[in-house]
């Protein structure tokens, strides 16, 4: 599974850690991804979203007891 936010597309960035002595070592900055239950097209799905998108309300979360979205065995 890739480390990319499924809403904004934020992905890892790389660069250098620079010490006081100007030594440079490779560094990777990864986004703060969270697995969140989201509602899309009337279905509940788990998606990986960065914390910034969750804070800004870009994720539509389903209600915890929304039984109209739960698929019953007779609907298959």
Q: What is the mean pLDDT of residues 51-72?
A: 80
Find the farthest-apart pair of alpha carbons in the chain and give their distance in angstroms, rounded.
68
In the chain, how many domains are there? 1
Q: What are phi and psi of 68, to 5 degrees?
A: -70, -20
Tens digit of each residue's pLDDT (9 = 90 or more) over 9-47? 999 999 999 999 999 999 999 999 999 999 888 888 999
**CA pair distance 69, 61, nearest whole angstrom:** 12
Q: Which domain holds residue 50?
A: 13-65
- pLDDT at position 70, please? 61
pTM: 0.72
In this structure, what CATH number is given to the domain that contains residue 37?
A: 2.30.170
Q: Which has the closest alpha carbon to 46: 16, 6, 12?
A: 6
Residue 44 lies in a domain: yes
**CA pair distance 47, 6, nearest whole angstrom:** 7
Spell out where the chain has E strands. 13-18, 24-29, 33-40, 43-50
């Amino acid at each position: 599974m890739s480390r990319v936010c499924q809403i904004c597309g934020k992905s890892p960035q790389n660069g250098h850690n620079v010490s006081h002595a100007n030594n440079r070592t490779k560094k990777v900055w990864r986004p703060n991804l969270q697995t969140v239950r989201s509602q899309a097209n009337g279905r509940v799905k788990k998606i990986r979203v960065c914390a910034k998108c969750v804070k800004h309300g870009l994720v539509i979360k389903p209600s915890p007891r929304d039984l109209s979205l739960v698929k019953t065995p007779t609907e298959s």
